[in-house]
């Protein structure tokens, strides 16, 4: 049984582990330390939640629609290629 | 796959469908790598030509999207050797070190973001995130765009950009951290 103290990792270090944690690439030991830290640290828990929200919000940025002109340009490009 | 079969057979409608699906995401990725709109558009057009010419050689070992983005990234890179985008300095901290005390604990509590039921205000946040993406160093931006906007897996992203998994994680980490920070600054400003 490993004795882990919450102070084992400081918040400054915990925030650097967030991406590896979300990617599932932390070692089992580091993941345990990280999760243990989170349980005792509302700020780092809030930080992780903000990163998750950031990822969702980034994924929700909408792509501008293709303009009819750009679409026609590409169709012309395709036709020129086919007639080559 | 059926669509690609039709493209192989020279079906224009299949081409138009693919254009509708992928042209804007490709343009966004190209723009994220070069500052010149003309260079970005040309690279995307070149990619479409390369696709119709090379579709016979697409073996389906990767997803079509990964194959497409990979061709695009190569085009953009060869165009960009002449036109280097000014790279903002890379920062190695996820969080401004001034936010921590001498023991490395948060000096001030992290303020919660005011969120709507869906978790965030898409209309309000999108302009902030777009500006934040724009301010990222190009390599970070490319990784964030591919992973968090285009939804590529880590392996696919590495294969499109030709980078190692470790490098990809560092770029993703720095990029996401920076986006969070800029959202935090803007949301607290109100």
How close A84 gets to chain B, by Cα (Å)?
Answer: 11
- The residues with which B100 forms a beta bridge, in sequence order, are B106
Summarised one tens digit per residue, pLDDT across range B104-150 is 999 998 888 876 665 677 788 899 999 999 899 889 999 999 999 99
How close B62 gets to chain A, by Cα (Å)?
Answer: 21
**pLDDT of A75 strictly over 80:** yes
In the CATH scheme, what is the homologous superfamily, with its name and number, of domain A6-83? Anti-sigma factor, zinc-finger domain (1.10.10.1320)
Summarised one tens digit per residue, pLDDT across range B43-101 is 999 999 999 999 888 888 889 999 999 999 999 988 876 655 555 566 788 999 999 99
Q: Mind listing the domains of chain B with CATH numbers?
A: 2-80 (1.10.1740.10), 97-189 (1.10.10.10)
Residue A24, classed as helix, strand or coil, is coil
Confidence band for A6, pLDDT divided at 50, 70 and 90: very low
Summarised one tens digit per residue, pLDDT across range B15-27 is 999 999 999 999 9
pLDDT at residue A62, rounded to an integer? 82
Measured torsion, CA atoms of residues B8, B13, B18, B19, in degrees rounded to the nearest 10? 120
Which chain B residues contact residue A50 at CB under 8 A?
110, 113, 180, 183-184
Inter-chain touch A51–B176, beta carbons under 8 Å: yes
Asked whether the beta carbons of B186 and B128 are under 8 A apart, the reply is: yes
Domain map (residue ranges) of chain A: 6-83
Which chain B residues contact residue A23 at CB under 8 A?
154, 169, 172
pLDDT at residue A56, rounded to an integer? 93
The pTM assigned to this predicted structure is 0.83
Residue B100, classed as helix, strand or coil, is strand
């Amino acid at each position: 049984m490993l004795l882990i103290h919450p102070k084992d990792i400081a918040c400054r270090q915990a925030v650097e582990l967030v991406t590896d944690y979300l990617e599932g690439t932390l070692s089992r030991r580091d993941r345990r330390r990280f999760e243990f830290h989170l349980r005792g640290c509302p700020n780092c828990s809030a930080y992780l939640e903000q990163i998750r929200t950031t990822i969702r919000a980034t994924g929700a940025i909408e792509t501008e629609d293709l303009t009819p002109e750009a679409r026609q340009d590409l169709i012309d490009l395709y036709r020129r290629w086919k007639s080559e | 796959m059926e669509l690609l079969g039709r493209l192989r057979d020279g079906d224009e409608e299949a081409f138009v469908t693919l254009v509708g699906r992928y042209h804007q995401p490709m343009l966004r990725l190209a723009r994220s790598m070069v500052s010149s709109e003309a260079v970005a558009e040309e690279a995307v057009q070149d990619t479409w030509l390369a696709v119709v010419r090379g579709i016979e050689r697409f073996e389906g070992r990767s997803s079509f999207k990964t194959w497409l983005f990979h061709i695009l990234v190569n085009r953009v890179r060869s165009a960009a050797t002449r036109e280097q985008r000014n790279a903002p300095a890379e920062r190695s901290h996820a969080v401004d070190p001034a936010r921590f005390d001498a023991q490395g604990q948060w000096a001030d509590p992290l303020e919660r973001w005011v969120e709507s039921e869906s978790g965030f205000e898409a209309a309000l946040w999108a302009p902030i995130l777009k500006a934040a993406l724009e301010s990222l160093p190009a390599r970070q931006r490319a990784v964030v765009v591919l992973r968090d906007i285009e939804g590529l897996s880590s392996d696919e992203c590495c294969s499109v950009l030709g980078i190692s998994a470790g490098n990809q994680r560092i770029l993703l980490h720095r990029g996401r951290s920076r986006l969070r920070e800029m959202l935090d600054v803007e949301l607290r400003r109100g």
